[in-house]
Amino acid sequence: MVEQQNNPQPGSGNGQQGSGRGRMKKRRWLKPVVRKVRVLGTGRKESDAQYDSTVGGLKVIHFGGLGEVGRNMSAVQYDNEIVLIDAGVRFPESDEMPGIDFIIPNVEYLADKKEMVKAMFFTHGHLDHIGALPFVRDKIGDPDVYAAPLTRALIMKRLDEFKNLKPLDILQVNAGDEIKVSDHITVKVLRINHSIPDDLAIAIKTPAGTLIHTSDFKFDDTPVNDLPADVDELQKLSDAGVLLLMSDSTGAENEGHSLSEQEITENLDKLIREATGMLILGTFASLINRIQQIITISEKHGRKVVFDGYSMKSNVEICKKLGYLKMRQGTQISMDEIDDYPRDKITAVVTGAQGEDNAVLMRVANGEHRHIHIKKNDTIVFSSSVIPGNERSVQFLKDQLYRNGAKVFNYKMMDIHAGGHGNKEDLRRMIQLVKPRFFMPIHGQYSMMINHGIMAQEEGVPEARIIIADNGSIVHLDKENWWMDKAKAPSDYVFVDGLGIGDIGNVVLRDRQILSEDGFLVIVTLVDGKTGKVRTSPDIISRGFIYLKDHKDLLMQIRKKIRFIVENNDARGKDINATYLKDQLRNQIGLFIFQKTERRPMILPVIIEI
């Protein structure tokens, strides 16, 4: 996101940027930046069309996932029929979005088109692809919903957490299935590799041409707990002609091929074989293939396996039931049984490798877990990469574990984590295989998408046929050209905070940022309604700004300033203008405090007329 500066009046509580001598602050607008779309070459034409159903042909609109990681959701529209792909959440940046639980796609484009939405397909079971369904379900009409078995089970588990929603019938599909959505649209789902089984690429066949959505993917010829990608089916689609390839860009800046899970298996085997004490592996609950590796290797070395963390235990039980996780009878034990076995025969697979405060691994590190207590020479493994923004939390967690005498290993020390996203050579292979007429990078930060587009040029896709779009861009395609409407579909963030969906806006978030940085000051002033004079000394309440008992001189100066502002205002006249007085107090007291402290607390004036 590009930083933009905002400079309202001091003390206004609207996200100021100070320019004080000793302290400068930068605040970001939380509204997505509207960029001028980069046009690669000259093979496009402009359209003045607004987004409405009267403009026919083939359109592609992304409601999230472009220029960001997460919030993946897209629509393919042909005439008056729409197919949706995924509905995922994005997790907030804690410093930027205090109090926000999730960010979800903005589906306002569909508000007057619900009857057009004929089908919805889910690519795989990660939350950045399925997590927003409960929040957008009432806004997308009543389409047929399709998902592979594991994805379907994870969606159903997700929906169980929202008791107010009516039951949803999700139709099961398997790799290789072809679904006739309508007389104009047919969808074929293809097996692709990721870090979770049942990942599907989506091929949408329309009269204008075939579009392929890769999903999150990598090419792995020796996957664990899965079969290799269905390259033959991709080749058949390529031979018939592919109009547009929409391809995962997450690894577009990483050189080489992504690691095979077979390589990870060999390294994990060595680590588990040589581990001392209790072995505790922290990973994502959604990395089902990694969990299977850990189970298999632990069994090989005579270890019992225990799982902890709500999402971890839920996912394990779902996968066991569907046959996606396999283990011998007696391998899995409960937490209550840990002390019944030697420590060096226990493998604990837990959540919290990102340093989350209340997750299992942090509770273990802090000595707050009921059953797992770190002893000298226990072995801790972080078998997942660090999400950007979590570095400090993860470092604190590692330090705590080291303080307890544990041995700590992570993916930087040895290859014990393979991401689910292909690196440059995987992405090149997809382009070479599909040979699309047009190419659209998706699922990644803007720089990733640009580099993916450059890679496509190197693989023979003309520059003029590469589409770099934003969330909300309405991209039209026919057999020869692509173009965008000048108008865009709504693409503002939609925030989920507790039970509220979309009721938290940028102003509220900026206020939260101010409160978290400089606190607030409440000024309660009693004013004589007849004379306009201040009655008694104004009350001042501080939270997160200063400790009142230690700043008596400053408080005395503020009270004098309050009295002066109230008793010398120009708008007093006959009656007290409380609104005007509040504005004056907010601005002038805010400026006065900044001059004295170079801090900008939120000023909340209360005028009581007596």
pLDDT in tens, 537-558: 888 888 777 777 777 888 888 8
Q: For residue 19, what are the contacts with CB-CB under 8 A and spacing of at least 6?
A: none
Amino acid in position 94: S
pLDDT of 422 reads: 86
452 is catalytic: no
- The secondary structure of residue 90, as a DSSP letter, is B
Of the residues 129, 213, 421, 476, only one is catalytic, namely 421
Is the pLDDT confidence value at 471 over 80?
yes
Q: Could you give the residue range(s) of every CATH 3.60.15.10 domain in the chain?
A: 58-256+420-492
Q: Could you give the residue range(s) of every CATH 3.40.50.10710 domain in the chain?
A: 261-410
Of the residues 128, 216, 226, 248, only one is catalytic, namely 248
pLDDT of 534 reads: 83
Cβ-in-10-Å burial (0-12, 13-18, 19+) of 273 comes to exposed
Say if residues 527 and 576 touch (Cβ distance below 8 Å): yes
The verdict on pTM exceeding 0.85 is: no
CATH number 3.90.930.12 given to 508-609: no
Q: How many angstroms separate the CA atoms of 582 and 78, rounded?
A: 55
Q: Could you give the residue range(s) of every CATH 3.10.20.580 domain in the chain?
A: 508-609
**Of 95 and 31, which is predicted with more confidence?**
95
How would residue 33 be classed by pLDDT, with cut points 50, 70 and 90? very low
- Considering the domain 261-410 in this protein, what is its CATH number? 3.40.50.10710
Task: Place domain 58-256+420-492 in its CATH homologous superfamily.
Answer: Ribonuclease Z/Hydroxyacylglutathione hydrolase-like (3.60.15.10)
Q: How many angstroms separate the CA atoms of 398 and 340, rounded?
A: 28
Residues facing 39 on adjacent strands = 467
Mean pLDDT of 238-256: 94
Is the pLDDT confidence value at 481 over 80?
yes
pLDDT in tens, 317-333: 999 999 999 999 999 99
pLDDT in tens, 351-388: 988 877 788 989 998 888 999 999 998 999 887 766 65
Q: How many angstroms separate the CA atoms of 20 and 5, rounded?
A: 15
421 is catalytic: yes
pLDDT of 60 reads: 97
Say if residues 249 and 227 touch (Cβ distance below 8 Å): no
pLDDT in tens, 449-462: 999 999 999 999 99
Is the pLDDT confidence value at 213 over 50?
yes
pLDDT in tens, 142-179: 999 999 999 999 999 989 888 888 888 999 999 999 99
